[in-house]
Chains A and B, each alone.
Chain A
């Protein structure tokens, strides 16, 4: 059983729809991430939240909008997506060292949300 839970596991949406992906971590970690995995490409980091603050946004198109209401929950809001956005979206969490706190940086992933944009 994974300590990181993602819903939904599968999502099919049209280009004009608005949907959201949800991630919840039960590990007490202080950092959460969204990754995109497309066929035959390395995992691409999309967003990073450390201590609920967004610290990384790797030039992700604005049609992807992250939200981190607390250190255990992370959302990815989707609107007016393109077919090339079809991919496996993976959420991860880690305990990062900061301000003297111990942390290994080990990453734990959820099972992913398979998104298909028609």
Chain B
């Protein structure tokens, strides 16, 4: 199995631009998670899905952030408009069920100038 796939691996954009991060979970996994990692806050859960349905989005910082999972093999995290404080590494992870071992993708390093 290829593992969790994320794209792009690096993204540099200017403040105010829209950013879309993509994730393909491991086939057969029913839970998908989006995390943000910064030095100050560590690894924060933004949102997670079970069977393509968003279960808890309380970690989404504000309305500028949105996430979708249109099918079992694809999810997006969108930031519109982006701000410099959104600069971080964004990880997608998947698991067979929400409380089991999570497999992380390689991450997307986002820099907002």
A joins B in a complex: no
Q: Which residues of A contact B (CB under 8 A)?
A: none
B residues contacting A by CB (< 8 A) are none
